[in-house]
Amino acid sequence: MSDFESLMVSQRPKREPKDNAAAAAAEEEAPRQRSRRMQSDMMATSKETNSTSTGLVTAFNPIAAAIKSLAASRNTPSYELQTDIADLKERFNEISDQMSAMHGQMGTMMAIFQRMNPQKE
For 51-97, what is each residue's pLDDT tens digit? Answer: 666 767 776 777 777 777 766 666 556 777 777 777 778 878 887 88
pLDDT of residue 33: 80
Residue 31 to residue 36: CA distance in whole angstroms:
9
pTM: 0.40
Residue 1 has pLDDT above 60, yes or no: no
The answer to which of 28-32, 46-50, 101-105 has the lowest mean pLDDT is 46-50
How much of the chain, in percent, has pLDDT values that exceed 70? 61
